[in-house]
């Protein structure tokens, strides 16, 4: 039935980059640059170096957007264009006027001015009235938390104090776009937590945050989407976790596939040797829209989420076990195959990750082309109630390294594996509160995950001496109560 109420208008992008390119003229000798200026119509005496080639993307209100890439990929050039420091050779970038950047510690600050005076200077650049700044001054000083140094010249500040003041100023003045380049790497863990809490508040008000960092966990967990740049060109644009996975494997032939590309059907090959190990066909998920990055050695063809009995299930109570099944079709001879799973909460935090080496399960030491591997992960969901997604990974390693895996450091072991396939957000499930009348209480723990441990409470009285607190009669005493 038609409605007279118009649909709400779609939000317009806050940042719009169209075909952004930047070329630098490289001269073999300094005098050639002068000759080129004096003879503009003559033969070019320089080589063209394209730091950026045809970069296009949009960022919507309230979105955290990451930019990643190796050193020399063009990240800094793109940031300087976004910040208005550089003009592109081609293309254009459309940004709001109230765009501010944390590019280098101390940039934009007058060394001889105090921290308080520099607040007014930065606000004036953003066009913010002095009265508004004065109303926010106490909040800025409290967030920076540098005490009496706030009224001392900033040339006396340490790098940590610079960061605290710069971050306090740029976030308290609530820009429409905030660009951060590695700045948070300077702060301690407490200040970084404080910063991300402030950034979450800005995002909720519609501010765009552009984060450039080599800390891949920060990008994967904080950003919604990310742009991966390789040699000045767009290598990947999409989900931040998928972009990080793509970055981590570099140029090894590992490439993202478009959703739906070569999506397998749900019919599961009989593979009689696996009888009884797998759920029914209708339990498997549709992978056609899943973000996949893989080389041509193997492909993940089937994924299912089940309860402990092997029945398809998407909702679990705290403490129940989820069984995640996956099948890989192998197209290249592999010595030892390693499979892994990651659970990610709605804040994009990886709350659990483990591979078959860490599970210490049996591994075949020869996987020929044309064969298939079926893997089952059973994970006890001692997690906070909420919604979760999971990622799947598949790697290969040599037999010799496999046999000495316990003697290798994590870094050595990681360097000896070859990434074959990664599925980002392959599926999802929900963790709920336990049913009523549960022991000892309904909610098993607070926080993201439940960690093994115990608590002991003892009562001291004037005449009773030491008495253990009451507990259920069928509970065994803890080691400190025996």
Residue 193 above 80 pLDDT? no
Q: Which residue has the tokens 């957000």?
A: 425
Question: pLDDT tens digits for 424-433?
Answer: 889 999 998 8
**What's the pLDDT band for 249 if we cut at 50, 70, 90?**
low
Angstrom CA distances, 52 to 22, 91, 246, 467, stand at 5, 11, 19, 72
Distance CA(468)–CA(354), nearest Å, equals 38
Among residues 213, 220, 121, the alpha carbon closest in space to that of 170 is found at: 121
pLDDT at 24: 86
Question: Per-residue pLDDT for 481 more than 60?
Answer: no
- CA atoms within 13 Å, Cβ hemisphere of 339: 23
> What's the whole-number mean pLDDT along residues 457-480?
59
Other Cβ atoms less than 10 A from the Cβ of 264: the count is 16
Highest mean pLDDT among 32-36, 118-122, 195-199, 317-321: 317-321
- 114-121 mean pLDDT: 87
With CA atoms as reference, report the closest residue to 424 among 342, 320, 327, 356. Answer: 342
Alpha helices in 11-111 (DSSP H): 30-38, 75-82
- The mean pLDDT value of the chain amounts to 82
Q: How far is it, in rounded angstroms, from Cα 106 to Cα 164? A: 11
Give the global pTM.
0.65
- Residue 239: is its pLDDT beyond 90? no
Burial of 290 (0-12, 13-18, 19+ CB in 10 A): buried
Q: Percent of the chain beyond pLDDT 90? A: 34
- Share of the chain residues as helix, strand and coil, in percent rounded to the nearest 5: 25, 35, 40
- Give me the pLDDT at residue 1, please: 39
Q: Given pLDDT bands bounded at 50, 70 and 90, which one contains residue 208? A: very high
78 close to 20: Cβ distance less than 8 angstroms: yes
Name all domains of the chain by residue range, CATH numbers in brackets: 9-96+216-248 (3.40.50.300), 251-269+278-432 (2.70.50.60)
Pick from 123-132, 254-263, 393-402 the range whose average pLDDT is largest: 393-402
For residue 257, the SS3 value is strand
Kindly tell me if the per-residue pLDDT of 303 is higher than 90.
Answer: yes
Task: For residues 13 and 147, give the distance between their C-alpha atoms in angstroms, rounded to a whole number.
Answer: 39
Q: What mean pLDDT do residues 174-197 have?
A: 76
Which position has the higher pLDDT, 2 or 240? 240
**86 touches 78 (CB < 8 A):** no
- Of 70-74, 261-265, 290-294, 408-412, the range with the lowest mean pLDDT is 261-265
Give residue-wise pLDDT tens across range 438-448: 788 888 888 88
CA distances from 352 to 246, 278, 348, 355, 388 (A): 20, 23, 12, 10, 11
Position 381 scores a pLDDT of 95
Q: So what's the pLDDT on residue 301?
A: 92
pLDDT per position as a tens digit, 344-400: 988 778 899 999 999 999 999 999 999 999 999 999 999 998 889 999 999 999 999
Residue 307 has pLDDT above 70, yes or no: yes
């Amino acid at each position: 039935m038609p409605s007279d109420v118009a649909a709400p208008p779609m939000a317009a992008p806050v940042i719009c980059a169209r075909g952004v390119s930047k070329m630098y003229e490289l001269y073999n000798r300094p005098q050639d640059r002068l000759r080129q200026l004096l003879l503009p119509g003559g033969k070019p005496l320089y080589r063209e170096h394209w730091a950026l080639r045809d970069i296009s993307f949009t960022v919507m209100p309230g979105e955290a957007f990451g930019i990643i890439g190796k050193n020399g990929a063009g990240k800094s050039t793109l940031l300087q264009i976004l910040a208005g420091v550089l003009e592109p050779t081609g293309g254009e970038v459309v940004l709001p006027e109230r765009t501010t950047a944390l590019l280098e510690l101390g940039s934009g600050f007058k060394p001889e001015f105090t921290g308080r005076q520099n607040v007014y200077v930065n606000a004036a650049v953003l066009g913010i009235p002095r009265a508004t700044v004065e109303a926010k001054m106490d909040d800025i000083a409290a967030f920076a938390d540098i005490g009496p140094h706030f009224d001392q010249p900033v040339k006396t500040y340490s790098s940590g104090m610079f960061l605290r003041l710069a971050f306090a100023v740029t976030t308290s003045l609530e820009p429409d776009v905030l660009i951060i380049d590695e700045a948070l790497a300077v702060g301690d863990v407490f200040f970084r937590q404080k910063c991300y809490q402030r950034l979450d508040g800005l995002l909720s008000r519609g501010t765009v945050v552009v984060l450039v960092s080599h800390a891949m966990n920060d990008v994967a967990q904080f950003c919604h989407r990310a742009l991966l740049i390789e040699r000045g060109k767009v290598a990947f644009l999409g989900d931040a976790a998928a972009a990080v996975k793509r970055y981590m494997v570099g140029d090894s032939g590992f490439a993202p596939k478009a959703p739906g590309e070569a999506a397998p059907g749900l019919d599961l090959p009989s593979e009689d040797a696996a009888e009884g190990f797998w759920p029914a066909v209708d339990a498997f998920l549709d992978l056609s829209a899943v973000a996949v990055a893989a080389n041509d050695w193997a492909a993940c063809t089937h994924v299912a989420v089940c309860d402990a009995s092997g029945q398809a299930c998407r909702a679990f109570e705290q403490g129940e076990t989820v069984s995640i099944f996956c099948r890989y079709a192998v197209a290249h001879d592999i010595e030892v195959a390693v499979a892994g799973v990651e659970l990610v909460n709605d804040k994009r935090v990886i709350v659990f990750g483990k591979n078959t080496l860490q599970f210490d399960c049996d591994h075949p030491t020869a996987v020929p082309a044309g064969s298939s591997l079926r893997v089952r992960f059973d994970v006890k969901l001692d997690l906070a109630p909420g919604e979760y997604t999971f990622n799947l990974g598949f790697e290969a390693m040599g037999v010799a390294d496999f046999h000495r895996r316990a003697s290798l450091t994590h870094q050595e072991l990681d360097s000896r594996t070859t990434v074959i396939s990664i599925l980002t957000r392959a599926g999802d499930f929900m963790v709920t509160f336990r049913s009523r009348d549960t022991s000892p209480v309904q909610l098993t723990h607070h926080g993201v995950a439940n960690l093994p441990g115990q608590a002991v409470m003892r009562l001291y009285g004037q005449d009773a001496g030491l008495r253990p607190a009451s507990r259920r009669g069928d509970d065994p005493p803890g080691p400190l109560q025996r």
